[in-house]
Amino acid sequence: MVKFTSREIRDIIISMLVIALVFAFAFSNKNLTLTISLFPITLIAVGLGFVLHELSHKLVAIKYGFWAEYRLWVEGLILALVTSYFGFVFAAPGAVYIHGEYIDKEQNGKISLAGPVTNIILALIFLALIPYVQGSLILSAITQLGFAINSFLAFFNLIPFAILDGAKIFRWNPLIWVIAILIAGSMTFYSMTGGL
């Protein structure tokens, strides 16, 4: 059964709001008025991707019988705020902490893969919606940003660096890691080169 502590709910909400804010600030080119205007858009496009990414880790961990809880990382939120001032965002607001008797490489790999796969699926949903919302400036911005950011979040999290999902997936199954990072990388490249 999936349970959320009050601390976990608080941490998720704070992380989601800060991440949406720093992306809005980075996209606004430090214009506070534009940041406020972009905030609802980034809350849906980025906040949704962040929350579902973390919840997918939690759900897969619980499926394997482990205890899992999201915890905010204050230093990561500060880092996101600082980097947004320079026009990019290093987003590491927190993580799902997993505890159990023994988590083998395959279980850890699958738990880790759940987050980036969730972002890939979200990105594809946003991409599929783009042609249907062309008449609305706001919905077009949400879908295009949703595709770009979720593609990037998947790609970034698949980098095989110690604390990121990619390292755990690579240790479990390098072939699955290659497939996932190629998909996320292609989608990120497509969004960055004006394919939309």
**Is residue 196 scored above 70 in pLDDT?**
no
Q: Is 106 a catalytic residue?
A: no
Is the pLDDT reported for residue 87 higher than 80?
Answer: no
Task: Supply the pLDDT for residue 29.
Answer: 86
Nearest to 82 by CA among 38, 22, 34, 35: 22
Tens of pLDDT, residue by residue over 2-49, are 888 999 999 999 999 999 999 899 888 889 999 999 999 999 998 899
Which pLDDT score, from 0 to 100, does residue 163 have? 82
CA distance 85 to 51: 23
Catalytic residue among 54, 75, 101, 106: 54
Residue 1: inside a domain, yes or no?
Answer: no
| Number of domains making up the chain | 1
Radius of gyration for the alpha carbons in the chain, expressed in angstroms and rounded: 17
Question: Is 169 a member of any domain?
Answer: yes
Range of the domain at 108: 6-192
Please answer whether residues 57 and 112 qualify as being in contact, where contact means their C-beta atoms are separated by less than 8 angstroms. yes
In the predicted structure, residue 128 carries a pLDDT above the cut 90: yes
Asked if 181 and 120 count as a contact pair (C-beta separation under 8 A), the reply is no
CB 66 within 8 Å of CB 108: no
155 domain-assigned = yes
DSSP three-state, residue 81: helix
User: What's the rounded Cα separation, in Å, for the pair 175 and 25?
Assistant: 37
pTM of the complete model: 0.90
